[in-house]
Structure 1
Amino acid sequence: MLTGSIGESTAQAAVDTLVSALFVAEGARLVSLARFFVEDRTAAEDLVQEAFIRLSRSAGRIRDPERAAAYLRSIVINLARDHNRRGLVSLRHRPPAVPDEPSAEETAAARESRLEVVAALHELPRRQRDCVALRYYLELSVEDIARTLGLSPNSVKTHLQRGLRSLAVTLEETR
């Protein structure tokens, strides 16, 4: 009996270490990723928090810790889709978020062309938008995107090519 509890506490410590390391390495980037899919920062932070909770609950089943970041990104994307589709119960019952105050970094980066790109990105079909955001915003490799979205690398390349072509056409029309 004592041996079982020691093994369980060791496993829990490994899960806690994995989740903590992922939070430090990926937390801010995941909030930025979620912002592509939801309207306010508070909702994006809530989605990322929920993703970490879900990861910690299932982390004991993860056999390859190197794939945990991709798994976490896919959780965030799925939660964002769910939020947009029908909203999470916990998010639905909170008061409206106070509009974000832009940081100095965000203000410097918020040029008009960036806003046009983001608007054009929202017009893309879901898979193309997911692939383009992961590739060019989070700078993931095609293989990492494939693992995150559960697609083949060739499918990711196709979605990227079509998405970039659509973005180019849309942005050319707005200028």
Structure 2
Amino acid sequence: MAEHDRRGEVRPAADEAIAELYAAHWTGLVRLAWLLLRDDLAAEEVVQDAFIAVHRRWDTIREHQAAAAYLRRSVVNGARSGLRHRGVEERYVARQQAEPTAYARHTEVSAEERALQSETTTSMIGALRRLPQRQREVLTMRYYLDLSEAEIADALGISAGSVKAHAHRGLATLRDRMEAAS
């Protein structure tokens, strides 16, 4: 059932709108979260949390067309939070074992991961992982989600010029690393 906003325009009800957003964006958002987190369950959880937040705040979102951008921003922020939490876990485990170890979450190989493995080489993913976080986020959103510079800027809360700079630096670093590896 549709509602009317302050200007009298028809606005979809929260449940209906979230169902449409879910159908249109779930897969891409999970892919984005997975590329940032490299963990199936954590990626799905981050995306679920983003949809819950949009549903909860639906009445305060002025333009319902902006909800997709809000979802992307929420997923990126949730992934950042997940990475920070993982870092805390890794430091805790390392202290408990009194030797430096890399604590990695192991999950079953998903269909998305198998598809990514067939599209990219292990060395490219390794080189991408070694990029600074912002460059990695920009390149991931640009080449795996096919987002425009404006959409990336909106999702990351930075200017379009910063997106260009991060993309340029990240690509130059990847090119150098891939040439050195071959």
Normalising by the smaller structure, the TM-score range is 0.7 to 0.9
Q: Under a length normalisation based on structure 1, what TM-score does the superposition of the two structures give?
A: 0.79
Unaligned runs of 5+ in 1: 1-5, 88-95
Which residue in 1 is equivalent to 2:158?
151
Matching residue's letter, 1:45? E
Q: Deviations over 1:59-101 (max 9, x none)?
A: 22111222211110111111111111025xxxxxxxx977324
In structure 2, runs of 5+ residues without a counterpart are 5-9, 87-103
Could you tell me which amino acid in structure 2 is paired with residue 99 of structure 1? Answer: T
Q: CA deviation at 1:12?
A: 9.8
In 1: Cα distance, 2:45 partner to 2:35 partner:
14
Q: Could you tell me the percent identity over the aligned residues?
A: 39
| More helix, by proportion | 1
Change (3 A) 1:86 1:139: same
| Cα RMSD (Å) | 2.7
User: 4+ residue runs of structure 1 moved beyond 3 angstroms?
Assistant: 105-109
Which deviations, in whole Å up to 9, do the C-alpha atoms of 1:111-147 show, x marking residues without a partner? 4843222221111111111111111110001111111
Scaled by the length of structure 2, the TM-score of the pair is 0.76
Report if aligned partners of 2:40, 2:110 keep a CA contact under 8 Å in 1.
Answer: no
Residue 124 and residue 98 in structure 1: after superposition, are their counterparts in 2 closer, same or farther (change >3 A)? closer
Q: Is the 8 A contact 2:76 2:155 kept in 1?
A: no
One-letter identity of the residue aligned with 2:107:
P
Match of 2:107 in 1: 99
Give me the whole-angstrom Cα distance separating, in 1, the residues matched to 2:162 and 2:20. Answer: 30
Secondary structure of 2:38's partner?
A: coil
